[in-house]
Amino acid sequence: MPSSEPAASTNHRWVEACTIDALPPGERKLIKIDDVEIALFNIDETVFAIKNRCPHSSGPLIRGYIDNAGGIKCPMHGWRFDLRTGESKRPAHATVYQVKIEGGDIYLAL
Amino acid sequence: MDLQRIDALITDEYAFFLRARNSWSLTAGPQDLELVAHALRVLLHARTTPDFLDDYTALVACQNTAGGWSPLSSDTDSTVWVSAFCGLMLIRANRFLHHDHLTRSVQQAIDYFLDTQHQDGRWVDPAWADLDTTSHPVSFFNVVMALGETHRQPEVQRAWEQGLRFIIDNQSPDGGWYDQEFHPSGVEITAHLIQDALVADLVIDRRVNGVRASCTKGAARLSEWQAQAGSWDDENIDHTMDCTRSLMLVTRILAESSHNDTIMRGLGWIMNNKNEHGWGDFPGMETNLERTCDGLDTMLKYKAYCHSEADAVIKLWGYLR
């Protein structure tokens, strides 16, 4: 299964998020690492990870609407973010995490 | 709905809200002003505003020189949406506080909104849809007129009417308002527009044609959108609170009882999806203070909605003295 970004920079550490079995294609999962909520999405067998709280007004992206262009819209006020880059047309940038799959486990670069 | 249960819930949640005071009070340091405005609205509707004068004067103190406010109290760039919410809380609070600083602050806010309106009647805020943004200064001006504030009155009336017409002109034939960027489902924006911008005209002076029909269609659309269990927008607690409150006000002013079952289902769903203390954004999510303020506000408005005095709930939007 591909991950959204295979390599982490040297400033990052890889942290185990969950098993890939816990996130089948089409599913989403909320996890917490170091008190930070992270929303995981398995879209067509590619895993994406984004900080759960929308930078606009903290809406939970885990409940967001995913579009066909690789974006997610916050369920509260509709701000859209690219799941690969965190970029938005709005005046904010969401934090996204690099992902790798190894030995049946999902790792995030934090 | 058992009003004793509502009263007990309000007492309990208000105590929780007060225990969290350092997280919303400007007297404790810089804050997110959207949260502050939500909190000040709870104080207004709990009728405890006079006990919190310092919070209101602190809001005056972080007003920017142009007359607006910033999303964060420590910033200096004004934006429309939060400015309208802050201005609204100050003018309504000053009915009880009678404070010169608040009076001047409200007048400066009026100046800010007159200075920032666009030619076609809209106001713009990069963080919000234009229709939603526009509803907030219109709401502020509704209350400015309802409470008899006369600062630049002819200009206020003109700007208010232009804003109102911008909103009416953009209603969809199905009764809802939509914004593909921010509110594709239309639920939250429709709830906001009918309660905050439009319906006040039916109470204040009926100057604009089409308001009654627009509100009637908007309220009907909201009812159609409700899920069977009582929520709106895929169990969105915020939007369910918005819709429930909006229907309480609009149907009271329209003297329509046909949406009462919708209101009761909404209220029941909100109560059933409360955390031990407060509310989260969706069922099962942890409590946040803004949603808790909305929840308290919904309960306080429901009490007013049930009051024998038919106008009681309208007063909680500031459209009547």
* Dihedral angle sign, alpha carbons of residues A11, A16, A20, A24: negative
Nearest CA in chain A to B286: A60
Instruction: Report the residue of A77, A81, A89 to disrupt the B interface, i.e. the one with the largest count of B CBs within 10 Å.
Output: A77
Q: Which two tokens stand for residue B227?
A: 């899920």
Chain A residues in contact with B291 by the CB 8 A cut-off are: none
- B23 contact partners, CB below 8 Å, separation of at least 6: B31, B35, B289
CA distance B185 to B287: 25
Smallest Cβ–Cβ distance between B238 and the set A73, A76, A80 belongs to A76
**Interval B16-71: pLDDT, tens:** 999 999 999 999 999 999 999 999 999 999 999 999 999 999 999 999 999 999 99
Q: State residue B205's pLDDT score.
A: 83
Residue linked to tokens 């030619």: B119
Nearest CA in chain B to A57: B34
Nearest CA in chain B to A63: B282
Q: State residue A65's pLDDT score.
A: 94
Phi, psi of B69 (to 5 degrees): -130, 160
CA distance B134 to B116: 11
CA distance B59 to B102: 9
Q: Do A90 and B238 touch (CB under 8 A)?
A: no
**Interval B101-150: pLDDT, tens:** 999 999 999 999 999 999 999 999 999 999 999 999 999 999 999 999 99
- Write down the pTM of the prediction: 0.93
Q: Which two tokens stand for residue A43?
A: 């879209």
**Interval B148-161: pLDDT, tens:** 999 999 999 999 99
> What is the maximum span of chain B, computed from C-alpha positions, in angstroms?
50
Confirm if B93 and B45 have CB atoms less than 8 A apart: no
Chain B residues in contact with A60 by the CB 8 A cut-off are: 281-282, 285
- B284 contact partners, CB below 8 Å, separation of at least 6: none
Q: Do B285 and A60 touch (CB under 8 A)?
A: yes
Q: Interface of chain A against chain B, CB under 8 Å?
A: 56-60, 63, 73, 75-80, 89-91
State the average pLDDT over residues B308-318: 93
Helices B53-61 and B100-116, axial angle in degrees (round to 10):
40
% pLDDT > 90, chain B? 95
Q: State residue A6's pLDDT score.
A: 46
State the average pLDDT over residues B188-198: 96
Low-confidence residues in chain A, pLDDT < 70: 1-10
Smallest Cβ–Cβ distance between B281 and the set A73, A76, A90 belongs to A76
**Interval B288-307: pLDDT, tens:** 999 999 999 999 999 999 99
The pLDDT mean for chain B works out to 96
pLDDT band at B182 (very low <50, low <70, confident <90, very high): confident
Q: State residue A1's pLDDT score.
A: 56
Nearest CA in chain A to B132: A77
Give the bridge partners for B32, in sequence order. Answer: B72
Q: State residue A8's pLDDT score.
A: 54
Q: Which two tokens stand for residue A50?
A: 């984004």
Q: State residue A7's pLDDT score.
A: 52
**Interval B205-238: pLDDT, tens:** 888 999 999 999 999 999 999 999 999 999 999 9
Q: Measured between CA atoms, how close is A30 to chain B, in angstroms?
A: 11
Q: Do A76 and B184 touch (CB under 8 A)?
A: no
Q: State residue A10's pLDDT score.
A: 64
Q: Measured between CA atoms, how close is A79 to chain B, in angstroms?
A: 6
Confirm if B151 and B109 have CB atoms less than 8 A apart: no
